Chains A and B, each alone.
Chain A
Amino acid sequence: QKEVEQNSGPLSVPEGAIASLNCTYSDRVSQSFFWYRQYSGKSPELIMSIYSNGDKEDGRFTAQLNKASQYVSLLIRDSQPSDSATYLCAVNIRQAGTALIFGKGTTLSVSS
């Protein structure tokens, strides 16, 4: 089992809808969780970080963390075609020391 799991998608939503992206991780002591967005042919860019249980909101993005369930999610409200990209979940895994381990990513497609 890979340490960070995501559904690969594609996830397709209409413009204006809420997109929900999910991620599970294996290391119970992980403390740092991140969502990155990657456009085709580009490098990953950070969009959200979350360290505590609960919700964290930033504009149209909300990250949700549940450490007991080892689950982190990203909600994108009022989805726009420009949100179409691959979303990568990253977790600080104990076995990797200080590094982040990434899931394979979920591809989101927002249709206008």
Chain B
Amino acid sequence: DAGITQSPRYKITETGRQVTLMCHQTWSHSYMFWYRQDLGHGLRLIYYSAAADITDKGEVPDGYVVSRSKTENFPLTLESATRSQTSVYFCASSTGEGTEAFFGQGTRLTVV
């Protein structure tokens, strides 16, 4: 039971580079989410998706792009990384609207 997996677990990138964080779930959950977690801010919603080809902005979407061509995958792309995007990124999935979300292991991203 693989559940939900994120890759890479750790990433260091330079300012201005494009970077993609991957998220894959094996549960066939309809809903998937991307959060970032920063000291003093807690978990903040970046983007979410209710189904394949349906995505919507969360609290802090600027500088990020998502896609969902397949139900099981929900990659998050930083088009031009900035130092303020240094954070821990969590992907999550759930079965339905307003139901409990299950989290991946997280990706620690450092932008230098």
Residues in chain A within 8 A of chain B (CB atoms): 31-32, 34, 42-46, 49, 88, 90, 92, 96-105
Stretch of B66-74, B76-84, B92-100 that contacts chain A: B92-100
Q: Establish whether residues B42 and A43, one from each chain, have CB atoms under 8 Å apart when the complex forms.
A: no
Residues in chain B within 8 A of chain A (CB atoms): 31, 33, 35, 40-45, 48, 50, 56, 58-59, 90, 94, 96-106
Complex: A102 Cα to B42 Cα, angstroms: 7
Q: Tally the A-B contacts, defined by beta carbons under 8 Å.
A: 62
Q: Please judge, given known A-B contacts A31-B98, A97-B50, whether A102 and B103 are in contact too, CB under 8 Å.
A: no
Q: Establish whether residues B90 and A43, one from each chain, have CB atoms under 8 Å apart when the complex forms.
A: yes
Extra contacts, 18 of them, besides A98-B94, A98-B98, A99-B58 (Cβ < 8 A), are A32-B99, A34-B100, A42-B106, A44-B43, A49-B100, A96-B45, A96-B58, A97-B50, A99-B45, A99-B101, A100-B33, A100-B98, A100-B101, A101-B59, A102-B35, A102-B43, A104-B40, A104-B42
